[in-house]
Amino acid sequence: MIFPSTAHGSSSVGTRDASRDLFPCIECLRRRRCVSDNLTRGGVPIEFFHISVLLRPHKSPPHEPHPQEATMAEAVVLLDVWVSPFGQRCRIALAEKGVAYEYKEEDLSNKSPMLLQANPVHKKIPVLIHDGKPVCESLVIVQYIDEVWSDGAPILPADPYARAQARFWGDFVDKKIYECGTRLWKLKGEALQEAKKEFIEILKVLEAELGDRKYFGGDAFGYVDIALVPFFAWFYTYETCGGFSVEAEAPKLVAWGKRCMERESVSQTLYDPLKVYEFVGFLKKKYGVE
Amino acid sequence: MAEAEQVKVLRFWASPWSFRVELALKLKGVPHEKVEEDLANKSPLLLASNPIHKKIPVLLHNGKAIPESLIILEYIDETWTDNPILPKAPHERGMARFWSRFIDDKCVGACWMSCWTEGETQQMFMEQARACLRILDDELGGRRFFGGESIGLVDISASFFALWLGVLQEVAGISLINGDEFPNLCRWIEGFVASDVVTECLPPRDKLLAVFQSKKQAILATKSMVY
């Protein structure tokens, strides 16, 4: 099985023994159970992420520390899964702050003892481990990064009201995008039309909030941008499955996404939308959604 | 300061979420006006202040509107810095935020649905609720409050368990929170409701019981939290 190269063009293509990778995953699916007791994220069973192991690009991790950064990098570890938009938020925040860290790809069909110990409540990625202490939940991690590495450009603004507004929109993205987007690729017929209507409404609300600003943070790339931008790579999947055009419904949002992609922290983190679509296509086959 | 600050809370007396906001303001000694909302007939002020979700609570501070209780709590802590409700150290702040979200995203919903479902569905929700309560009980351990020696963000977030859960399980005729299974939580509840500041803000239990009894059929039909 050939694995895709990354969005930013480095051609790390490799092969994997398909049968060795497929077997444990199909077994999990057949049992329809998972380590975290059928917990879901936004209605999607956690098995979803088991499949990510099969389509994981065979390449070096998103950030390889230089030898002289090694000691500092060891103090910061990110447990993550390549395709996770929640993990990507953390990667972008760390990159924006110039923080060296060690990236550990998790196999969610076989969670590491480190992950189970670091996040015993949810057993989910992403988890940031800093000097041995874990921080869980992507937007909690982003705020943590902002508070610890306060020398770098701020992610949240200084003013309490502006911070509250940023948290509000981060929370809005959290509650709405992933759950509704998942329904776009999982459902058919009337339920799909319902999801499409809702998703377009969500896009329009976000577009209205963005207005003519460069970023949600104003002139500065910030918290809301970080919360939302990983889903930019999922827009192609959502619009193709849903039968609409994100650009037609929310042109300013698409222009914003392209501006964000000019930032290295974003372009080095997000994968090609076609890779995300391929990943979801694989999921659809596995779930018998066609 | 030249002008008096104008602090208003758009609230509903029976809501655990508007209670959170009022408790935080009380802990900080911030004078404020309570504006009672009729949730069946939401005011233009509420709809204008929270156009996205159209829900209470909303904090209005000198005309600026802040919705969503956990976001309001952080705003209160950052604006009125005496008697902090969040810890200073970033890791502890991260943990406080994590537990508050856990309470909101998992615990409250499971407890709520346990009360208003039946049969196997109810059993499933009750199992989930117990698992959540167990996790919270373990996390609290022997501490007086989740915040340590004083009431903090997580305690304020957990106030649903201090009064509302007991009322709801009585209305629904089930038992979720009990001293045998959750000794730490029950001890916390006793200490929390005995605190002067909390007592001043809590709605009367008998009034709460009456309102949930009266809304029982509507809630059973819709499962919605009528806030």
Which of A58-72, A88-102, B7-21, B82-96 is least confident? A58-72
Cross-chain residue pair A172–B52, CB shorter than 8 Å: yes
Which pLDDT belongs to residue A62?
Answer: 54
Q: Which residues of A touch B102 (CB under 8 A)?
A: 121
Residue A243 pLDDT: 96
Are A254 and A168 within one domain?
A: yes
Question: Which residue of chain B has the CA closest to A122?
Answer: B102
Confidence of residue A28 (pLDDT cuts 50, 70, 90): very low
B94 & B203 share domain: yes
Residue A37 is assigned to a structural domain of this protein: yes
B140 and B49 in a common domain: no
Residues 6+ apart with CB under 8 A from B126: B114, B174, B176
Q: Region A277-283: what's the mean pLDDT?
A: 94
- Residue from A39, A140, A142 whose CB has the most chain B CBs within 10 Å, to mutate: A140
* Inter-chain CB proximity A135 and B94 less than 8 Å: yes
Q: Which chain A residues are closer than 8 Å to B61 by Cβ?
A: 161
Q: Are A134 and A74 within one domain?
A: yes
- The confidence band for A46, taking pLDDT boundaries of 50, 70 and 90, is very low
Q: How many whole angstroms separate alpha carbon B67 and alpha carbon A116?
A: 34
pLDDT for residue B5: 83
Specify whether the backbone of B199 is left (phi greater than 0), alpha (psi in -120 to 50) or beta: alpha
A83 in a structural domain: yes
Residue B227 lies in a domain: no
pLDDT at residue B215, as a whole number: 87
Q: How many domains does chain B have?
A: 2
B218 and B122 in a common domain: yes
Residue A157: per-residue pLDDT: 97
B186 occurs within a structural domain = yes
Across the interface, which of A121, A163, A205 has its CB nearest the CB of B102?
A121
Q: What is the length of chain B?
A: 227
Interchain contact, A161 vs B67, CB within 8 Å: no
Residues of B in contact with A206 (CB under 8 A): none
The pLDDT tens digits of the residues spanning A139-174 come to 999 999 999 999 989 999 999 999 999 999 999 999
- Where among B55, B79, B103 does a domain terminate? B79
Burial of A161 (0-12, 13-18, 19+ CB in 10 A): middle
Q: What is the CATH number of the domain that holds A228?
A: 1.20.1050.10
Nearest residue in B to A209, CA atom: B52
Question: Do B156 and B98 belong together in one domain?
Answer: yes
Partner residue opposite A171 with nearest CB, options B68, B93, B98 = B68
Say if residue A217 is in the same domain as residue A143. no
B21 within domain boundaries: yes
**Spatial separation of the C-alpha atoms in residues B111 and B224, rounded to whole Å:** 13
Which residue of A lies nearest to B96 if distances are taken between CA atoms?
Answer: A140
Residue B40 CB coordination number (10 Å): 6
- Interface probe, candidates A144, A149, A201, chain B, greatest B C-beta count within 10 A: A144
Q: Between the CA of residue B66 and those of A160, B26, B154, what are the distances in Å?
A: 10, 17, 20
Task: For residue B104, give the CATH number of its domain.
Answer: 1.20.1050.10
**Number of domains comprising chain A:** 2
The enclosing domain of B64 has a CATH number of 3.40.30.10
| Chain A interface, best mutation among B62, B98, B103, by max A CB count within 10 A | B98
B95 located within any domain: yes
Q: How do A127-130 and A102-105 pair as beta strands?
A: unpaired
Judgement on whether residues B129 and B68 belong to the same structural domain of the protein: no
Question: Domain end: B57, B79, B101, which one?
Answer: B79
Kindly state the average pLDDT of the residues A232-246. Answer: 97
User: Does residue A32 sit in the same domain as residue A125?
Assistant: yes
Residues 100-139 on B with a CB inside 8 Å of A are: 101-102, 135
Same domain, A41 and A111: yes
Q: Are residues A41 and A138 in the same domain?
A: yes
pLDDT of residue A234: 98
> B59 — phi, psi (to 5°)?
-95, 130
Single pTM value for the model? 0.87
Q: For residue A167, which residues of chain B lie inside 8 Å, CB to CB?
A: 68, 71, 74
Q: pLDDT class for A52, splitting at 50, 70, 90?
A: low
Do residues B97 and B172 share a domain? yes
Distance CA A82, CA A61 (A): 9
**B142 and B42 within one domain:** no
Same domain, A233 and A125: no
- Determine the straight-line distance between the first and last CA of chain A, rounded to whole angstroms: 22
Which residues constitute the domain of residue B38? 7-79
CB atoms within 10 A of CB B191: 15
In a domain, B84, yes or no: no
Same domain, A125 and A171: no
Do B203 and B137 have their domain in common? yes
Residue A266 lies in a domain: yes
Contact B94 A141 (CB under 8 A): yes
Residues B97 and B120 in one domain: yes
Which among A144, A164, A167 has CB closest to B94?
Answer: A144
DSSP per position, chain B: --S---EEEEE-TT-HHHHHHHHHHHHTT---EEEE--TTS--HHHHHHSTTT--S-EEEETTEEEESHHHHHHHHHHHS-SS-SS-SSHHHHHHHHHHHHHIIIIIHHHHHHHHH--HHHHHHHHHHHHHHHHHHHHHHTT-SBTTBSS--HHHHHTHIIIIIHHHHHHHHT-----TTT-HHHHHHHHHHHHSHHHHHHSPPHHHHHHHHHHHHHHHHHH-----
The whole-angstrom distance between residue A70's C-alpha and the CA centroid of its chain comes to 25
Q: Give the best residue of B21, B58, B71 to mutate against chain A (max A CB count within 10 A).
A: B71
- Are A144 and A169 part of one and the same domain? no
User: Would you call A140 and B98 a contact, using CB atoms and an 8 Å cutoff?
Assistant: yes
Question: What are the chain B neighbours of A205 within 8 Å (beta carbons)?
Answer: 52
- Report yes or no on B19 lying in a domain: yes
CA distance B125 to chain A (A): 12
pLDDT at A265 over 60: yes
Q: Is residue A17 part of a domain?
A: no
Residue B1 lies in a domain: no
Share of chain A above pLDDT 70, in %: 74
Judge if B114 and B196 occupy the same domain.
Answer: yes
Using the predicted structure, report yes or no on whether residue A33 has a pLDDT greater than 60. Answer: no
Show Cβ contacts of residue A243 under 8 Å, excluding neighbours closer than 6 positions: A196
Examine the domain organization and report whether A30 and A139 are in the same domain: yes
Residue A146 neighbours by CB under 8 Å, 6+ apart:
A93, A97, A154, A155, A156, A223
Which pLDDT score, from 0 to 100, does residue B218 have? 85
Asked if the structure places residue A1 within a domain, the reply is: no
Q: Which of A95, A123, A148 is the endpoint of a domain?
A: A148
A207 with A169: CB under 8 angstroms?
Answer: no
User: Cis before residue B67, ω within 30 degrees of 0?
Assistant: no
Residues of chain B with pLDDT under 70: 1-4, 226-227
Choosing from B79, B98, B114, the residue where a domain stops is B79
For residues A119 and A165, state if they share a domain.
no
Please provide residue B145's backbone torsions phi and psi, each rounded to the nearest 5 degrees. Answer: -130, 165
Q: Give residue A171's domain range.
A: 160-273
Q: Are residues B217 and B113 in the same domain?
A: yes
Is B100 among the domain residues? yes
Domain identity same for A35 and A117:
yes
Residues B66 and B99 in one domain: no
What is the Rg, in whole angstroms, of the alpha carbon atoms belonging to chain A? Answer: 19
